Structure 1
Amino acid sequence: MPKPIEKVTLSTQVAERLRSDILAGAHGPGEQLHEVELALALGISRGPLREAMQRLVQEGLLKSIPHRGVFVVDLSEEDMLDVFFVRASLEEAAVRRLVSHGDRATTARHLTVISERMDRAMRGGDHTSGGDLDLEYHRALVDAAGSLRLSRTYATVQAETRLCLHRLMGGYRSRDDLAVEHFRLAELIRTAPVETILPELHRHFGNPAVILRRLRQDAPDQDRRQAR
């Protein structure tokens, strides 16, 4: 029998809209979200909005401070390093499981297809889609390990990972960097021993703090160019 169609509640729709706006930069790091203003702007009551905001608090995109309000999370360098530490640990476990028990050829083909989409997005200057596809790629890698609990654990840091990726996406010196690294990793996953894959995986992650500092250094130069 076909599965019944899942009903999407208003609060779910609002959560998706707020999540998209935060990742697109419409609400900046540390910005307070005011219930009355948002409810009016979205044309909804405050009940579904509160439910949506609470969902994003649980995901790690928003932070609720008693007696002050709800704010967009502002990830520090230490936060980003911690998120990437957890990601690396989980993905290393996924690679080891995939190499020993998984379908490496099918996984490599799937990752290559995602890399091709990522390449088109980055060449077109669409960094938002590039960030989404980066997360899709790594989530597919973890899921390929065939461990429900590993995938579930990875999902707990997914929102913060997504936020990190979107913040760091502009830090790649070349638009080709992101896709090329993912193509290379997919090819290694196809046939290489785990001792070759893991160093490449960790090299690919890099140091988010360094990329963040680079973005901050580049920002004044971009502002000066725009002012001319």
Structure 2
Amino acid sequence: MAIFDPVVRESTPSIIAGKLRTAIGRGQIPAGSQLVETELARELGVSRGPLREAMQRLTQEGLLISIRNRGIFVITMTEEEVRDMYVARTAVERAAAELILAKNGGKAVAAQLSRVVKAMKKAADKTDLDAMSEADMDYHSTLVSAAESPRLTRIHNTLLTETRMCLTALEQRYPDPHTRVGEHQAIADALARGDQDLVGTLLIRHMDDALERLTGGGHSEPAATA
């Protein structure tokens, strides 16, 4: 009888896909760019086989698009697609919160989120907008990961990459970073109290506000918020 389960190592295509996903999200590979296999394989130090598999994964996720007789390109997002993306994010994050509360309550997860909020506050105090944005993304990633649903996490990773793409492309900035800190802490506090309805309401409000700022919404300077 075996004592240990086999060690599961991340596959090379998975690692490559992760690197490409991050580069796309951060704007290092801009929207609309064509991916050239030979150049990417050389830069990543990998063969073209696992690279193609990684690119196929991102195509299935919707981050890349294959155009016949032309090649593979990073997607560009219309305003309608951005709105649809936020609808999906709201649904995923609310579902994650419901799972967390149904399994073992939200206090432990809320404590994790509060630690991320502290990092957000430090970044806000220093007006470090890049660190603020990273902490913002980390907050939402932590929330969904805590639900321990592989499918929700997989979907959410793609949605966060699309969010990063939008923010990077439009060079968004927070008009008042401390306001965003308060919003995130309020969600964590509602989760700690086990108030599922309030968590849902706050998440919807948070996403609606982010979408409004991202798409213009009458603001002179849209805000970078996840």
TM above 0.5, one fold? yes
Among candidates 27, 30, 40, match of residue 29 of structure 2:
27
Q: Is the 8 A contact 1:185 1:201 kept in 2?
A: yes
1:11 and 1:196, CA in 2 relative to 1: closer, same or farther beyond 3 A?
Answer: closer
1:109 and 1:32, CA in 2 relative to 1: closer, same or farther beyond 3 A?
Answer: same
1:62 and 1:120, CA in 2 relative to 1: closer, same or farther beyond 3 A?
Answer: farther
Q: Is the 8 A contact 1:105 1:190 kept in 2?
A: yes
Residues 1:18 and 2:17 are matched in the alignment: no
Among candidates 53, 56, 65, match of residue 54 of structure 1:
56
In the alignment, the residues of structure 1 paired with residue 92 and residue 18 of structure 2 have an alpha-carbon distance, to the nearest angstrom, of 26
Residues 1:104 and 2:111 are matched in the alignment: no
2:167 is matched with 168
Q: Which amino acid aligns with 2:180?
A: L
In the alignment, the residues of structure 1 paired with residue 11 and residue 97 of structure 2 have an alpha-carbon distance, to the nearest angstrom, of 37
Q: How big is the shift at 1:201?
A: 1.7
Q: Is the 8 A contact 1:15 1:52 kept in 2?
A: yes
Aligned length: 215
1:155 and 1:70, CA in 2 relative to 1: closer, same or farther beyond 3 A?
Answer: same
CA RMSD, 1 decimal: 3.2
Q: How big is the shift at 1:133?
A: 3.9
1:156 and 1:38, CA in 2 relative to 1: closer, same or farther beyond 3 A?
Answer: same
Q: How big is the shift at 1:25?
A: 1.1
1:85-96 superposed matches below 5 A: 85-96=87-98
2:40 is matched with 38
Q: Which runs of 5+ in 2 are unaligned?
A: none
Q: How big is the shift at 1:47?
A: 1.9
1:158 is matched with 157
Post-superposition Cα deviations, 1:34-65, rounded to whole Å, max 9, x if no partner, equal 11222233343322221221122123321222
In the alignment, the residues of structure 1 paired with residue 59 and residue 132 of structure 2 have an alpha-carbon distance, to the nearest angstrom, of 24
Q: How big is the shift at 1:186?
A: 0.8
Percent identity, aligned pairs only? 31
TM-score for the superposition, normalised by structure 2: 0.76
1:176 and 1:162, CA in 2 relative to 1: closer, same or farther beyond 3 A?
Answer: farther
Q: Which amino acid aligns with 1:103?
A: G
Q: How big is the shift at 1:69?
A: 0.9
Q: Which amino acid aligns with 2:29?
A: H
Post-superposition Cα deviations, 1:157-190, rounded to whole Å, max 9, x if no partner, equal 4212332145337342123333332112111222
3-state SS of the aligned residue for 1:176?
helix
Q: Which runs of 5+ in 1 are unaligned?
A: 220-228
3-state SS of the aligned residue for 1:48?
helix
3-state SS of the aligned residue for 2:177?
coil
TM-score for the superposition, normalised by structure 1: 0.76
Q: Which amino acid aligns with 2:121?
A: D
2:82 is matched with 80
2:190 is matched with 188
